[in-house]
Each structure stands twice: as C-alpha cells, then as structure tokens.
Amino acid sequence: MLKQRVITALVLMAILLPALLARQAWPFALLSLVLMGAAGWEWGRLNGARGLAVPMGVLLALACGAALWAGWSDASPRLVWWLATLVWVLGGAFALRGGPAAWPQLPVPARCAIGLALLWTAWLALAAAKTMGINFILSVFCLVWAADIAAYFGGRAFGKRKLAPAISPGKSWEGVWSGMLGALLLAASWLWLDATFAMDSASLYTLLYRRLGLAMLLLVILFLSAMSVVGDLFESLVKRSAGAKDSSGLLPGHGGVLDRVDALLPVFPIALAMISI
C-alpha cells in the first residue's frame, strides 16, 4: 500500500507541478478542470446518482470550460466568493450538525446540485488564484497542507477530545488547535519570505496584512484553517452516509479526487472573498 501511495503521489506531482509552475494560467486551469470533472463523477456515485455520474462529471467539466472561455478566471465576480462563503459557513454547520443520517434525507437532485455548485466554485477559485500568481496560489495550498499536517501530528500527540466521532472518529479538538497553530506559523514564515525575496506575486498573507492589518490577518488564517476542517468533515460525512471508505479508486493508494481536495474546496473561494474586502 505504501509503495502504491508513493508511486501515485510521484505521478501526480510530475503532472501537477509543471502546470502549477507554468507562467501561463491555462495549463493549470485545464488540468484542474479534468480533476474537477472526475470529482463530479465521484460526487454522483456517492449521492445515489450512479447512472448519471458520468454525465454529471461531463457537465461539471463543461461548466468549468465555459467559465474559462468567458474569461472568468481572470475577472471573477466577487459575489461568487461571498455566496460560496455563506454556503460553506451556514450550510456546512447545518450538514455537520445533522450528521451522516440526515444527509441522505435530502432529495438526490438537491444533493447533486449542491455538490456540483461547490465543485464549480472551487474550480473557479483555483483558476482565479493561479492568474494572481504562483506565489499566491502556493500560499493557499500550503495553508491547507500545513494545517492538515500539524493537525495530524498534534492529534496523535495530544488528542483526547473527539471532534466529530459520528463523522470522523480520528479527529480531535487538539488536532484542530494544532492545525491552526501550524497555519499561523506558516503565515509568519511566508510574510518573511515575501519581504526578503522577490516573488512573482504577493502571497495570501501579504495581501491580507496590507488590506486588513495584523489582527485581521490572524483571524482570517484561523478561519481558513477551521474551514479546511469543515471541508474535510463534509466529505467524510457524505462518504459515511453512502457507506464508502473512499470517494473512488481513481488514485491508487489515495482513494479518489474528492479525498485529496476536500479541505481545499471551501478554502480557495473563502480566501478570495477575504482579500476582496
């Protein structure tokens, strides 16, 4: 299993890094479009629409392509980011409070529409972040990864109080606090990097500091770290309600695309909403 995970990770990096580091925005936009289409297929399978899962993936990819053709990745309406923030904060709280038993009570068309809308918004946010610069998009990616890694080790070392045992028994409140601390340390380090080296663009942290000040920067980082946990828990809730361990087997050793991007889905649109203030 470990060998399989490593091989898959190396292949993904070999595909992702050139697109991510390219000066043009379109290679990453197209690659992420394909991945989001696969995530749309997974969402249909997890939410009782197996017969329509492939058309759902194609529809999502076409919707992303239409937004790319229309130039929305370069000039996205700010309203999209704020609507996504509202849905993730209020809808996420409602879904997590209901737990795995409540989610299947929603009609299948509603569940499918919610997922496709969230995935499309996340793709648009990813594409928009890439147009802002490599330093910016990497700073958002690394926030999620740093919070996740710190939460894992903090939870293993100090975890006692379960966060959401009915959804993800392995997560603890101590892991959440550790993840937030990791995100804050990353932000401080990245501010120093931006001030010391010439970057192609300002990072998320520098933009927040310039526009909102230090106190709000800290609050926003904590908020984004918390929302990465919400994204992770929401996908776990959907899988648990479907009786699935992974969203699919597309990525050997890693599960599916949704398993890899769940924490990113709320963070990117919310980050863009925050810097639009």
- Taking the CA atoms of residue 87, residue 152, residue 97 and residue 48 in that order, the dihedral angle to the nearest 10 degrees is 70
Q: How far apart are CA 215 and CA 34, in angstroms?
A: 38
Q: What is the pLDDT of residue 93?
A: 94
* DSSP assignment letter at 255: B
Q: Of 52-56, 59-63, 75-79, 120-124, which range is least confident?
A: 75-79
Q: What secondary structure letter does DSSP report for 87?
A: I
Give domain limits for the chain: 2-275
Q: What are the pLDDT digits (tens) for 162-180?
A: 999 999 999 999 999 999 9
Q: Considering the chain, what is the average pLDDT of its residues?
A: 93
**φ, ψ (nearest 5 deg) of residue 170:** -80, -15
Residue 258: partners with Cβ closer than 8 Å, 6 or more residues away: 39, 42, 43, 46, 235, 247, 248
